[in-house]
Structure 1
Amino acid sequence: MAEQKPKGGVTKTAKARLELLWTVLPKIPSVIRVVLLHVLKMSEPSRYLDLRENVIVAFLRSLLDQPKPQPISKTQRMTLRDPGIKGRIWVSKVSAQVPPEESIRDVLLAAIDSSKGQFVVADGICRVPDIIPVEAEWTGYRAHASPSSELPAIPEQQKYAEMMKECSSDVTILYFHGGAYYLMDPASHRPTTKRLAKMTGGRVYSVRYRLAPQDPFPSALLDAFVSYMTLLYPPPGAVHAAVDASKIVFSGDSAGGNLSLALLQTILEIRRRGLKVTWFGHEREVPLPAAVAANSPWLDIVQSMPSWMTNQKMRSGLPNHHGNTFFIDDDFLLHPLACLHLNASWEGAPPIYVCCGWECLADEDKWFVSKLVKDGVAVVFEEYEAMPHVFAAILEKAPQSARCFDGWAKFISQACGSPQEIRSSFTTIKAKTMKEVDINVKNLSPFTEEDLRKFAFDRVGRKSSFPNTPAKL
Structure 2
Amino acid sequence: MDVATLKLLLQLLPRLPMIARVAIFHMLQMSPSSKYVDLKTELTVTLIRSFLTPSKPMSISDTQSLLNRDPGIKGRIWVAKYTAPAPKETSIRDVVIRAIENMRQPASDGSPLPPLKNVDWSDVVPVEAEWTGYRAGATPQSILPSITEAEKYAEMMKEVKNRTTVLYLHGGAYYLMDPFTYRPTTKLLTKLIGGRCYSVRYRLAPQNPFPAALIDALLSYLNLLYPPLGAFHEAVKPEDIVFSGDSAGGNLCMALTQLLLEFKRTNTKIQWFGQEVDVPLPAGLALSSPWLDLTHSSPSCKTNAEFDYLPMLQGLDKVPRPSCAAWPANPPRKVLYCADALITHPLVTLLTARSWEGCPPVYISCGWELLADEDKYMAAKLHADKVPVVFEEYEGMPHCFPMIFKGSPMSVRCLDAWTEFTTDVVEKGPGSVESAFRTIKARTMKEMDIDPSGLSPYTEEELRERLRGLRRERAPPAQATGDVAAKL
Residue 382 of structure 1 is matched in structure 2 by 392
Question: Is the aligned partner of 1:122 residue 2:133?
Answer: no
Kindly provide the CA deviation profile for residues 135-185 of structure 1, in whole angstroms up to 9, marking residues without a partner as x: 111010000111111111111111111110000010000000101111111
Asked whether the equivalents of residues 53 and 311 of structure 2 are also in contact (C-alpha less than 8 Å), the reply is no
Structure 1 residue 402 corresponds to structure 2 residue 412: yes
Q: Which residue of 2 aligns with 1:429?
A: 440
Number of equivalenced pairs: 451
8 Å contact 1:427–1:436 — kept in the other structure?
yes
Q: Which amino acid aligns with 2:367?
A: G
2:191 maps to 1:223: no
Contact between 1:301 and 1:324, CA under 8 Å: does it hold in 2?
no
> Which of the residues 24, 32, 38 maps onto 2:26?
38
Instruction: Give 2:346's match in structure 1, choosing from 311, 323, 336.
Output: 336
Cα distance in 2 between the residues matched to 1:111 and 1:442: 31
Partner of 1:443: 454
| Counterpart residue identity of residue 207, structure 2 | Q
Q: 1:226 to 1:20 in 2, by over 3 A?
A: farther
- Residue 8 of structure 1 is matched in structure 2 by none
Task: Summarize the alignment of residues 18-29 of structure 1 with structure 2, pairs less than 5 Å apart.
Answer: 20=8, 22-29=10-17
Confirm or deny: 8 A CA contact 1:334 1:456 kept in the other structure.
yes
**What is the distance in 2 between the residues matched to 1:174 and 1:79?**
23
Correspondence for 1:91 among 43, 57, 79: 79
Distance, in Å, in 2 between the alignment partners of 1:25 and 1:100 is 55
* Structure 2 residue 42 is the aligned partner of structure 1 residue 72: no
Cα 1:318–1:460 change in 2 (3 A) is farther
- Counting only pairs closer than 5 Å after superposition, residues 138-149 of structure 1 correspond to structure 2 as 138-149=131-142
1:95 aligned counterpart, secondary structure: strand
Alignment correspondent of 1:468 = none
Alignment of structure 1 residues 95-106 onto 2, 5 Å:
95-106=83-94
RMSD: 1.9
How has the CA–CA distance of structure 1 residues 399 and 124 changed in structure 2, closer, same or farther, with 3 Å as cutoff? same
Contact 1:234–1:242 at 8 Å: present in 2 too?
Answer: yes
Structure 1 stretches lacking a partner, 5+ long: 1-12, 464-473
**Aligned twin of 1:371:** 381
Ranked by relative contact order (alpha carbons within 8 Å, sequence separation 6 or more), the top structure is 2
Alignment of 1:55 onto 2:55: no
Looking at structure 1, the residues matched to 457 and 289 of structure 2 have their Cα atoms a distance apart, in angstroms, of 19
Secondary structure of the structure 2 residue equivalent to 1:367: helix
Of 397, 421, 424, which aligns to 1:414?
424
Aligned equivalents of 1:134 and 1:18: distance in 2? 37
| SS in structure 2 of the partner of residue 251 of structure 1 | strand
Distance 2:115 2:366 in 1: 36
Q: TM-score, normalised by structure 1?
A: 0.92
Cα distance change of structure 1 residues 269 and 433 upon mapping to structure 2, 3 Å threshold: same
**From 180, 197, 201, the counterpart of 2:173:** 180
| Structure 2 residue aligned with 1:152 | 145
Identity of aligned residues (%): 52
Shift of 1:391: 0.4
Q: Deviations over 1:54-98 (max 9, x none)?
A: 111111111112222221111121211111111111111111111
Q: Is 2:465 the counterpart of 1:454?
A: yes
Determine which of 228, 233, 244 is the counterpart of 2:237: 244
Deviation at 1:439, TM superposition (A): 0.7
Given the superposition, is the C-alpha separation of residues 18 and 236 from structure 1 closer, same or farther in structure 2, using an over 3 Å criterion? farther
Residue 40 of structure 1: CA displacement?
2.0
2:408 paired with 1:393: no
Is 2:127–2:201's contact at 8 Å kept on the other side of the alignment? yes
Taking the aligned partners of 2:471 and 2:10, their CA distance within structure 1 comes to 36
Counterpart of 2:438, as a letter, is T
CA contact (8 A) 1:258 1:298 kept: yes
SS in 1 for 2:192: helix
Secondary structure in 2 matching 1:264: helix
Q: Distance in 2 between matches of 1:234 and 1:442?
A: 43
1:303 alignment partner in structure 2: 296
Mapped pair 1:200 → 2:210 = no
- Contact 1:97-1:236 at 8 Å conserved across structures: no
Which amino acid is 1:26 matched to? P
Question: Is 2:253 the partner of 1:265?
Answer: no
8 Å CA contact 1:302–1:460 kept in 2: the answer is: no
Gaps of 5+ in 2: 318-332, 475-488
